[in-house]
C-alpha cells in the first residue's frame, strides 16, 4: 500500500561519508525537506571513519551548499543528521546503532518506520541485511525497507546468492533495488507517451515500427573507478540494468492498471520474450568495444588500458552495441538496437523509434527521398520529445521536407523537476516500488547478460582498443545495423535545439 504524502521515517545511510551520499542522497533529502514532503525524519549516517555529530552535520551542510541551488534552513535540516562510526562487518556496533535508532525514533516520533539505505560497495550488502535483522534493528512497529544500490550481483548466480541473504531479513516487497534511470523524468514518461496517446499506441507494433534504437553515450572515461570497472565492463555496468529496463518499458504490453504489480509483471513478460542466443550467435548480435586514445571536448585523453587501476592488456569492454529481438506477437521481426559506451563523442541518452515507410511514396521524384517518421525521446541531458514528420516544402512545387515538432521539458518546469534520487527516495519512504527493479527482472536480465559475458570473457578481443575516444564507437557497431538495412540515427543531429 502506498502511504500518505508526509511519511515519518528514520533513514539509515550505510556509507554516509561516500561519494553517493554527498552528491545525491543529502541533496535529495534536503529537497524533500524544503518541499515539505517530509518533516518528521532523522538520518543516521554510518561509515568507519571517526566523526562527531557536529562534523557529520558540517559535511551535510557543505554538500547542500555545493550541490543544490536553494540554500535556506540548512542548519535546521542538518540538525536531523546523526553519525555512528562503525565497521559494517563487525556485529558489535549494530547494538549501539539499534540504541541510537530507538532513541531517535521516540525523539522524532517516527512510528518505527525505517529505511536502510546501502550506499556502499556491494560485497557488504548481504552482511548488512543479515546483521540489521540479527541485532534487532528491523524489529520495529513501523515498516522496514532496504534500499540497495547497483550492482545487484555480478552474474545470475551471485545475484541469486545475494538475494537469498537479503531475503532472510526482508520480504521481496521490502526490497527497493535502485536503478536510477527509472527515476528519470523521461524514462517514466515512456509509459505515458505510449499509453496516453491514441496517436502512438495503435502503431506501437511490428506492423508500423521498423526498429527502435536506444543510445546511452558518455564522454567521461573510467575516471577513478578502474578497479570496479575492470570486473564489470559496459555490459554489466549499463546493459544488465539501465538499457534492459528501458527496452522493457518500450516493449511491454499495456498494464491492466497502473499499479506496481501490474507494471512489473508486464515488464517481466517483455524480458522473458527476449530471444536467447547460442554461444555461436553472441558475436552476431552483440559488438564490444574498448576506447583508445583520442580527443574529447578538444582535450586529448588516454586509452582505457593506461587508465588508473586498469590492466595494460585489459579485455574489458567500454562499449557495447547489440540487437535484441523480442519474440512475441507485438514485436516479431522488429530489432531493438542498444548502444552504450564511455569516451564517446557526446553525452546523450536518447531513444529513437523509427516508423516504417508508407506503402507508396508519391514524392520519389523530388530531390530528397522521404525520411521515415521518427519519435525521439530525449532522456538526458535534455529532456523532451521530438516527432519528425514530412510536410510540404514552402514554394510552388509539391515537394516534401522533414519537419520537427518538439516538446522540451526544460522550458516548462526545469527548476521544479525533481532529480531521480529525490523521487526514488521519496517513493521508498511511501512504499511505492513501481520504479525499482523486482527480483524477477534482475534475474532475467542477468541470465540474458550472462550468455554474452560467458563468451566475451573466454575470448580475448584482439582488435582492442577498437575505437578512438571522442567518436561514436567501433565500426562493427555500424555494420550490425547495416546488415539489416538500417543505420544509427546520429543522435547529435536530433537534439531538441536543432
Residues of each annotated binding site for NADP(+): 15-22, 48, 87-88, 150
- Alpha-carbon gap, residue 61 to 73, rounded angstroms: 10
Measured from the CB atom, the residue of 131 and 210 that comes closer to ligand NAP is 131
- Residues in the annotated binding site for substrate: 180, 184, 218, 237, 342, 347
| Class of residue 68 by CB neighbours under 10 A (exposed 0-12, middle 13-18, buried 19+) | middle
Binding track, positions 308-347, relative to ligand NAP; x by CB under 6 A? ----------------------------------------
Binding pattern for the stretch 467-486 against ligand NAP, x by CB under 6 A and - elsewhere = --------------------
Size of the site for ligand NAP (CB under 6 A): 19
With binding defined as CB under 6 A, does residue 451 bind ligand NAP?
no
- Of 47 and 268, which has the nearer Cβ to ligand NAP? 47
Out of 2, 95, 121, 199, which residue is the one contacting ligand NAP (CB under 6 A)?
121
Residue 375 C-beta-side C-alpha neighbours within 13 Å: 19
Name residues whose C-beta falls within 8 Å of residue 341's C-beta, 6 or more positions apart in sequence.
217, 218, 234, 289, 291, 318, 319, 320, 467, 473
Among 150, 264, 350, 438, binds ligand NAP (CB under 6 A): 150
Contact between 337 and 320 under an 8 Å Cβ cutoff? The reply is no
User: Is residue 97 within the footprint of ligand NAP (CB under 6 A)?
Assistant: no
Cβ 395 to ligand NAP, closest distance in Å? 52
Q: Which stretch binds ligand NAP (CB under 6 A): 113-121, 168-176, 190-198, 367-375?
A: 113-121
Q: Which is nearer to ligand NAP, 117 or 337 (CB)?
A: 117
Measure Cα distances from 237 to 43, 244, 317, 431, 446 in Å.
Answer: 29, 11, 10, 27, 11
Binding status of residue 391 toward ligand NAP by CB under 6 A: no
Q: Catalytic residue at 242?
A: yes
Q: Sign of dihedral through CA atoms 296, 300, 303, 309?
A: negative
Q: Which of these ranges, 13-21, 168-176, 342-350, 386-394, lies near ligand NAP under the rule CB under 6 A?
A: 13-21
User: Considering only 115-123, 166-174, 352-360, 378-386, which stretch makes contact with ligand NAP by CB under 6 A?
Assistant: 115-123
Q: How far apart are CA 149 and CA 176, in angstroms?
A: 9
Binding residues: 15-22, 48, 87-88, 150, 180, 184, 218, 237, 342, 347
Please identify, using beta-carbon distances, which residue of 17 and 349 lies nearer to ligand NAP: 17
Stretch that binds ligand NAP, among 10-18, 29-37, 67-75, 212-220 (CB under 6 A): 10-18
Minimum CB separation of residue 308 from ligand NAP in Å reads: 15
Which residue out of 80, 84, 242, 378 is catalytically annotated? 242
* Contact between 428 and ligand NAP per CB under 6 A: no
Single out the segment in contact with ligand NAP by CB under 6 A; choices: 12-20, 213-221, 245-253, 339-347.
12-20
End-to-end CA distance of the chain: 44
Closest distance between ligand NAP and the C-beta of residue 167, in Å? 19
Interface with ligand NAP includes 247 (CB under 6 A)?
no
- Asked if residue 89 lies in contact with residue 124, where contact means CB atoms within 8 angstroms, the answer is yes
Site for ligand NAP in 31-90 (CB under 6 A): 47-49, 87-89
Asked if residue 92 binds ligand NAP (CB under 6 A), the reply is no
Q: Judging by DSSP bridges, how do beta strands 384-392 and 374-380 pair with one another?
A: antiparallel
Q: How far is the CB of 137 from ligand NAP (least distance, A)?
A: 15
264: contact with ligand NAP by CB under 6 A: no
Q: Does 12 bind ligand NAP (CB under 6 A)?
A: no
Cell output for 378: 530525449
User: Within 10 A of 151 (CB to CB), how many other CB atoms are there?
Assistant: 19
Residue from 9, 12, 17, 241 in contact with ligand NAP (CB under 6 A): 17
The CA–CA distances, whole Å, from 356 to 229, 363, 371, 482, 490 equal 39, 16, 10, 16, 18
Residue closer to ligand NAP (CB basis): 279 or 308:
308
Specify the residue, 217 or 400, whose C-beta has the smaller distance to ligand NAP: 217
Identify which of 86, 159, 188 has the alpha carbon closest to the alpha carbon of residue 449: 159
For residue 116, list its beta bridge partners.
Answer: 12, 146
**Cell numbers linked to 476:** 562493427
Find out whether 131 and 167 touch, Cβ atoms under 8 Å: no
- Bridge partner residues of 164 (DSSP): none
Pick from 27, 122, 183, 341 the residue near ligand NAP by CB under 6 A.
122
Contacting residues toward ligand NAP, per CB under 6 A: 15-20, 23, 47-49, 87-89, 119-122, 149-150
Active site (catalytic) residues: 242
Amino acid at each position: 500500500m502506498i502511504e500518505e504524502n508526509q511519511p515519518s521515517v528514520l533513514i539509515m545511510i550505510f556509507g554516509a561519508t561516500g561519494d553517493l551520499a554527498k552528491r545525491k542522497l543529502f541533496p535529495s533529502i534536503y529537497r524533500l525537506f524544503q518541499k515539505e514532503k517530509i518533516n518528521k525524519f532523522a538520518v543516521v549516517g554510518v561509515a568507519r571513519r571517526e566523526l562527531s555529530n557536529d562534523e557529520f552535520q558540517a559535511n551535510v551542510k557543505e554538500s547542500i551548499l555545493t550541490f543544490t541551488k536553494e540554500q535556506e534552513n540548512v542548519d535546521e535540516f542538518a540538525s536531523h543528521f546523526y553519525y555512528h562510526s562503525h565497521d559494517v562487518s563487525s556485529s558489535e556496533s549494530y547494538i549501539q546503532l539499534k540504541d541510537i535508532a530507538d532513541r531517535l525514533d521516540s525523539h522524532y516520533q517516527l512510528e518505527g518506520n525505517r529505511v536502510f539505505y546501502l550506499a556502499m560497495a556491494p560485497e557488504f550488502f548481504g552482511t548488512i541485511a543479515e546483521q540489521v535483522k540479527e541485532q534487532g534493528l528491523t524489529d520495529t512497529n513501523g515498516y522496514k525497507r532496504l534500499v540497495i544500490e547497483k550492482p545487484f550481483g555480478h552474474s545470475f548466480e551471485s545475484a541469486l546468492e545475494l538475494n537469498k541473504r537479503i531475503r532472510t531479513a526482508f520480504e521481496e516487497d521490502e526490497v527497493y533495488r535502485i536503478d536510477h534511470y527509472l527515476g528519470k523524468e523521461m524514462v517514466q514518461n515512456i509509459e505515458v507517451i505510449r499509453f496516453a496517446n491514441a496517436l502512438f499506441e495503435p502503431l506501437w507494433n511490428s506492423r508500423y515500427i521498423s526498429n527502435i534504437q536506444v543510445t546511452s553515450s558518455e564522454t567521461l572515461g573510467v575516471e577513478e573507478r578502474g578497479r570496479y570497472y575492470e570486473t564489470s565492463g559496459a555490459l554489466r555496468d549499463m546493459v544488465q540494468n539501465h538499457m534492459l529496463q528501458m527496452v522493457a518499458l518500450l516493449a511491454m504490453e499495456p498494464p491492466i492498471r497502473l499499479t506496481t504489480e501490474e507494471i512489473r509483471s508486464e515488464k517481466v513478460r517483455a524480458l522473458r520474450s527476449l530471444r536467447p542466443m547460442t554461444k555461436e550467435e553472441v558475436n552476431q548480435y552483440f559488438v564490444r568495444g574498448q576506447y583508445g586514445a583520442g580527443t574529447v571536448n578538444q582535450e586529448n585523453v588516454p586509452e582505457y588500458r593506461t587508465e588508473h587501476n586498469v590492466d595494460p592488456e585489459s579485455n574489458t569492454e567500454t562499449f557495447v552495441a547489440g540487437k535484441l529481438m523480442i519474440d512475441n506477437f507485438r514485436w516479431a521481426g522488429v530489432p531493438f538496437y542498444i548502444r552504450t559506451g564511455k569516451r564517446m563523442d557526446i553525452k546523450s541518452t536518447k531513444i529513437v523509434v523509427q516508423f516504417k515507410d508508407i506503402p507508396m511514396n508519391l514524392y520519389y521524384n523530388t530531390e530528397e527521398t522521404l525520411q521515415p517518421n521518427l519519435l525521439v525521446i530525449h532522456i538526458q541531458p535534455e529532456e523532451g520529445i521530438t516527432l519528425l514528420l514530412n510536410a510540404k516544402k514552402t514554394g510552388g512545387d509539391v515537394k516534401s521536407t522533414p519537419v520537427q515538432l518538439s516538446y522540451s521539458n526544460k522550458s516548462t518546469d526545469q527548476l521544479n523537476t525533481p532529480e531521480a534520487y529525490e523521487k526514488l527516495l521519496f517513493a521508498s519512504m511511501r512504499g511505492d516500488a513501481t520504479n525499482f527493479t523486482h527480483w524477477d527482472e534482475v534475474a532475467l536480465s542477468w541470465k540474458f547478460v550472462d550468455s554474452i559475458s560467458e563468451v566475451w570473457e573466454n575470448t580475448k578481443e584482439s582488435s582492442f582498443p577498437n575505437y578512438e575516444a571522442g567518436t561514436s564507437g567501433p565500426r562493427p557497431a555500424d555494420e550490425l545495423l547495416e546488415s539489416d538495412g538500417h543505420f544509427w540515427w546520429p543522435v547529435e543531429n536530433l537534439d531538441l535545439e536543432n
